[in-house]
Amino acid sequence: MSEGTAVTSGDAIENLLSEARTFAPPAEFVAQANFSDEAIFAEAAADPEAWWARWAARLDWMTPFETVLDNSDAPFAKWFTGGELNVSQNCLDRHVAKGHGSRVAYHWEGEDGERRSYTYDDLLDLTERFANVLLGLGVQKGDRVAIFMPMIIELPAAMLACTRIGAAHSIVFGGFASSALAERINDADCKVVITADGGWRRGKQVRLKELTDEALLSTPTIEHCVVVQRLGDQLDHPLGWVEGRDKWWHELMADAAPHADPTPMASEDLLYLLYTSGTTAKPKGLMHTTGGYLTGIVASMEMVFDAKPLTDVYWCAADIGWVTGHSYIVYGPLALGMTSVLYEGAPDWPAQDRNWEIVERYGVTILYTAPTAIRAFIKWGDHLPAAHDLSSLRLLGSVGEPINPEAWMWYHRVIGGERCPIVDTWWQTETGHHMIAPMPGITHTKPGSATHAIPGIDAAVVDEAGEPVPNGHGGLLVIRQPWPGMARGIWGEGGRERYQHTYWSKWPHLYFAGDGAKLDSDGYLWLLGRVDDVMNVSGHRISTMEVESALVEHESVAEAAVVGMLDELTGEAIAAFVTLNDEGSDGRDEAAVRAALLEHVAERIGKFARPRLLVFTQGLPKTRSGKIMRRLLKDIAEGRAIGDTQTLQDAAVVEQLQATVNALRA
Ligand code: WTA
């Protein structure tokens, strides 16, 4: 484990593991469940390739695959080689062909109250036209298209249009700063960027086009910028426009031909890039490919969400800009032909019962959200969900961070009315789909435990030597066998080595997830948070290094150390310890410098990366060999008695820091 270890503190682990409550799947749920026989665990484990091949057969293949798994170039596994398919065809055309064109794909709701339902026919039409638009802009198979959009219907349509012509999308979450967008565009050499004139978030306009314009000052590969008119007349700020480069979506669409045949894609062709934070300052463009990814998503929708396309109204309340949205707002539900809710805005706008209003309005049956949101709902009060009819709900999901037992119990009782199984789903941008989660018709759940690997996935908790730990012990989470949705590598020069080094170098043949975990005495798996320098703030992944390098970039900063500290609401919050450089340190206005630094981080990365706690210090606690003692900083940030300081170079620094933090908190 590295110095920056972000494992839940000892007390919290003990509390978690003394959790003895178990919940059997309700009989009514079992009676209608897609899976209710425990035997499938053994069946999948006995022959994982046959298991996944059966799921792959649920897709429409233009050319059948020849080989299920080719792992001869491990860890770069290839799934379903020889096969050809198209993701947009699987998500749209095949449902329309079966007569489901008039089924609603998305009930879209804007934050401002605008509402519209889009059928599979509608979405196919948008997709085909936009595929022709992309072709007209010179986008070809294999090209990368950047997407920086709000949660509007044009976003899934743009993604599907890329897949239709074989271009890979690279979506950048709308909360990122312009320099983060530029960095991602440049890393992938994107040819086109798609954005909007803005979006709504907590009643304010998100200036997506303005940020895009700033980014495009330093992105030589971008030839065209397509702009969706989301705000139009309501726009409250000037809209920049570069003639020749910028084009309105609606004007291009008005001229676009209505039909575009889906391009056959090899199973291992690139579907998309998605950048995520690792342990370095440079985000990694993870590569997801076509056949295996879609197979894994479809399987997990049916196994973990117990998806029933004909009757469910499914709502994943995440943002499409993160992997949860890619897999479980767009590709998963569409591949099954489900009806979903797509909501643009914040859960507390205009009032804190917005989510419950939406559940009631559409009769949502499956709700998938994050512990950080659940903790906010708890804080806002039980009277809000109580004022709405939530009886349509039959299954609840959680994702993004460990869910604490109390939040789990509240979700179960207040939202689920004690009748809905909860699926706590552990997975990552790298894994593509659910890996550890209950099977809702089979698994007896325990509040706070993600329970077991899903059928077909071989997960283990191992010690430093890579040996599985016995029940009752903790260690590191690994995956032992390839799985269909796994990332195929990291984009760009040196990406192959980087992928190998990041995930597969600790032990040969084991995928190291970066998470600590523990098996309880019944063999249930409990996730304990990251063991590397990755923080998890409100379910957003961000590396300590990214924030540190943004800070030290600022002219007044000499040195910075960043750690994640436990936070009741957001899981973790960012704490930064900063040494200012000498110039003008006398009589400096600390409040002004603090504000400037926070703003600088917001400009470099995004507002969500601004430290909650920013402490100025004369020095940082270091070991005698000069390494910053991050664990100690974490203790200080969390206000804990600090551990062993024997190896410290200068113990006085620690006392001074504790005093400063206490003063800041007072
Ligand atoms: C954490 C999000 C505990 C974990 C899908 C992982 C979780 C990281 C859970 C991936 C969960 C995600 N319980 N921890 N149910 N789900 N995590 O790539 O630390 O944004 O490594 O993918 O989130 O975050 P990412």
The predicted structure's pLDDT at residue 11: 53
515 lines ligand 1 (CB under 6 A): yes
Give backbone dihedrals phi and psi of 147, rounded to 5 degrees, phi first. -130, 125
Output the residue whose Cα is nearest ligand 1's atom 13.
402
- 1 pLDDT above the threshold of 70: no
In a domain, residue 591? The reply is yes
In a domain, residue 42? The reply is no
- Model confidence, pTM: 0.93
Ligand 1 atom closest to residue 436's alpha carbon, by position in its atom list: 15
Q: What is the pLDDT of residues 352-408, one digit of tens each?
A: 999 999 999 999 999 999 999 999 999 999 999 999 999 999 999 999 999 999 999
CATH code (residue 146): 3.40.50.980
The predicted structure's pLDDT at residue 664: 85
Percent of the chain past pLDDT 90, that is, above it, reads: 86
Q: What is the pLDDT of residues 64-74, one digit of tens each?
A: 999 999 999 99
In a domain, residue 142? The reply is yes
- Ligand 1 centre distance from Cα of residue 665 (Å): 30
Report yes or no: 593 and 556 within 8 Å, Cβ to Cβ: yes
C-alpha–C-alpha distance, residues 520 and 461, integer Å: 11
- 583 pLDDT above the threshold of 70: no
Ligand 1 atom closest to residue 529's alpha carbon, by position in its atom list: 19
The predicted structure's pLDDT at residue 15: 60
Structural domain ending residue among the three candidates 263, 289, 322: 263
In a domain, residue 17? The reply is no
CATH code (residue 642): 3.30.300.30
In a domain, residue 609? The reply is yes
C-alpha–C-alpha distance, residues 249 and 295, integer Å: 32
Ligand 1 atom closest to residue 437's alpha carbon, by position in its atom list: 15
Structure tokens at 384: 């809000």
3-state secondary structure of 144: strand
In a domain, residue 391? The reply is no
Total count of residues recorded for the chain: 666
Least confident of 139-153, 609-623, 637-651: 637-651
- Environment class of 11 (CB within 10 Å of its CB; exposed 0-12, middle 13-18, buried 19+): exposed
By most ligand atoms within 8 Å of CB, the mutation choice from 327, 428, 537, 543 for ligand 1 is 428
Q: According to the per-residue pLDDT averaged within each range, which of 274-278, 575-579, 615-619 is highest?
A: 575-579
The predicted structure's pLDDT at residue 6: 35
Report yes or no: 604 and 405 within 8 Å, Cβ to Cβ: no
In a domain, residue 395? The reply is no
**Pairing assessment for the beta strands 422-425 and 395-399 based on DSSP bridges:** parallel
Report yes or no: 609 and 570 within 8 Å, Cβ to Cβ: no
Q: What is the pLDDT of residues 187-205, one digit of tens each?
A: 999 999 999 999 999 999 9
514 lines ligand 1 (CB under 6 A): yes
C-alpha–C-alpha distance, residues 641 and 123, integer Å: 57
Please list the residues that pair with 339 across neighbouring strands. 313
Q: What is the mean pLDDT of the chain?
A: 94
- Ligand 1 centre distance from Cα of residue 208 (Å): 27
3-state secondary structure of 397: strand
In a domain, residue 114? The reply is no
H or E, element range at 550: helix 544-553
425 lines ligand 1 (CB under 6 A): yes
Cα–Cα separations (whole angstroms), residue 60 to 86, 88, 264, 304, 464? 8, 11, 11, 22, 43
What domain count does the chain have? 2
- 48 pLDDT above the threshold of 80: yes
Least confident of 413-417, 520-524, 531-535: 531-535
Report yes or no: 429 and 541 within 8 Å, Cβ to Cβ: yes
Structural domain ending residue among the three candidates 263, 288, 304: 263
Closest CA to 397 of 370, 372, 359: 370
DSSP summary character for residue 581: P
By most ligand atoms within 8 Å of CB, the mutation choice from 277, 478, 527, 531 for ligand 1 is 527
Domain, as residue range, for 254: 120-263
Binning pLDDT at 50, 70 and 90, where does residue 8 land?
very low
Q: What is the pLDDT of residues 206-235, one digit of tens each?
A: 999 999 999 999 999 999 999 999 999 999
Output the residue whose Cα is nearest ligand 1's atom 24.
428
Structural domain ending residue among the three candidates 226, 241, 263: 263
Report yes or no: 206 and 634 within 8 Å, Cβ to Cβ: no
